[in-house]
């Protein structure tokens, strides 16, 4: 199964994808995560992507398409794949169709998580994570039980994503509105797009996604 999660930054794609991995045994492919690990390793791709990511703009299509194509091929034995953060442009959506066709695969569901801009800014500006185990937190909605101590691994080191800063966030939202939102009609014309209220409580959003997958 190929499932695409669409939505603005902070819509909850990553959180819901992680839950779907546990529930259905799917593999989550997040282009944002892949790029962050390329930047960390200092690879050629990482060096090209670093500044662009820090500015909140989109990394060029050719680099992204090459990167994701390799990963999809590596997951040929998987139960299914969740694409989180890809595609983000019409060019990427078209390239995905071609690469799936070559691998005898097809998109089963495209799920859009709808969240308004005010909520996105509130969600992203308050989020941080444990530097050591990666556990995600939010200042207002899900702070650690003991201030300054990670619930999971007791570390006292926390980090914020540099691209969650107010200025970069504005660019990321513009990139979503001006480039990524344009692919919604592409998928609705194909008849595989479902929109879900991403403002609802996390468990409710998860149930709605499951209904789409299970065909209820
Ligand atoms: P994310 O973690 O999905 O919010 O992605 C973080 C950043 O990585 C984005 O702001 C972009 O700069 C870059 N990025 C991630 N996925 C893509 C993509 N499919 N196309 C272009 N740039 C991407």
* Span 81-126, pLDDT tens digits: 999 999 999 999 999 999 999 989 999 999 999 999 999 999 998 9
Predicted pLDDT at 10:
92
Q: Is the CB of 9 under 6 A from ligand 1?
A: yes
* Span 131-177, pLDDT tens digits: 999 999 999 989 999 999 999 999 999 999 989 998 899 999 999 99
Q: Is the CB of 86 under 6 A from ligand 1?
A: yes
Atom of ligand 1 nearest to the CA of 175: 10
Encoding tokens for residue 173? 């939202």
Q: Determine whether 19 is an active site residue.
A: no
* Span 165-184, pLDDT tens digits: 988 999 999 999 999 999 99
Evaluate the omega torsion of the peptide bond into residue 87 and state whether it is cis, within 30 degrees of 0. yes
Catalytic residue among 13, 36, 103, 210: 13
* Span 34-80, pLDDT tens digits: 999 999 999 999 999 999 999 999 999 999 999 999 999 999 888 89
Predicted pLDDT at 162:
87
Convert the chain into a string of H (helix), E (strand) and C (coil). Answer: CEEEEECCCCCCHHHHHHHHHHHHCCEEEEHHHHHHHHHHHCCHHHHHHHHHHHHCCCCCHHHHHHHHHHHHHHCCCCCCEEEECCCCCHHHHHHHHHHHHHCCCCCCEEEEEECCHHHHHHHHHCEEEECCCCCEEECCCECCCECCECCCCCCCCEECCHHHCHHHHHHHHHHHHHHHCCHHHHHHHHCCEEEEECCCCHHHHHHHHHHHHHCC
Predicted pLDDT at 166:
87
* Span 195-208, pLDDT tens digits: 999 999 999 999 99
What's CA 198's distance to the chain center, in Å? Answer: 13
Q: Determine whether 170 is an active site residue.
A: no
Atom of ligand 1 nearest to the CA of 56: 10
pLDDT at position 214 over 80:
yes
Q: Could you tell me which of 102, 27, 99 has the C-alpha nearest to residue 61?
A: 99
Please choose from 53, 67, 87 the residue to mutate so as to test ligand 1's pocket, defined by most ligand atoms within 8 A of CB. Answer: 53
Atom of ligand 1 nearest to the CA of 52: 12
Q: Determine whether 88 is an active site residue.
A: yes
pLDDT at position 216 over 70:
no
- Whole-model pTM: value is 0.92
Q: Is the CB of 172 under 6 A from ligand 1?
A: yes
């Amino acid at each position: 199964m190929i499932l695409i999660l669409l939505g603005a930054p902070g819509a909850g794609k990553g959180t819901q994808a992680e839950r779907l991995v546990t529930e259905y045994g799917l593999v989550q492919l997040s282009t944002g995560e892949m790029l962050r690990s390329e930047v960390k390793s200092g690879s050629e791709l990482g060096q090209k992507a670093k500044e662009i990511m820090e500015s909140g703009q989109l990394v060029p299509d050719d680099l992204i398409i090459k990167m994701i194509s390799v990963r999809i091929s590596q997951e040929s034995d998987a139960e299914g794949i969740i694409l989180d953060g890809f595609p983000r442009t019409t060019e990427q959506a078209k390239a995905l169709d071609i690469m799936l066709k070559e691998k005898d695969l097809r998109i089963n569901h495209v799920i859009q998580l709808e969240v308004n801009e005010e909520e996105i800014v509130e969600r992203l500006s308050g989020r941080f994570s444990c530097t050591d185990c990666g556990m995600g937190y939010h200042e207002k909605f899900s702070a650690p039980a003991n201030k300054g101590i990670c619930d999971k691994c007791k570390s006292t080191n926390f980090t914020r994503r540099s691209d969650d800063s107010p200025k970069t966030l504005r660019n990321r939202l513009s990139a979503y509105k001006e480039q990524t939102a344009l692919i919604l009609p592409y998928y609705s014309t194909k008849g595989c797009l479902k929109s879900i209220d991403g403002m609802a409580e996390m468990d409710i959003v998860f149930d709605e996604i499951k209904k789409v997958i299970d065909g209820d």
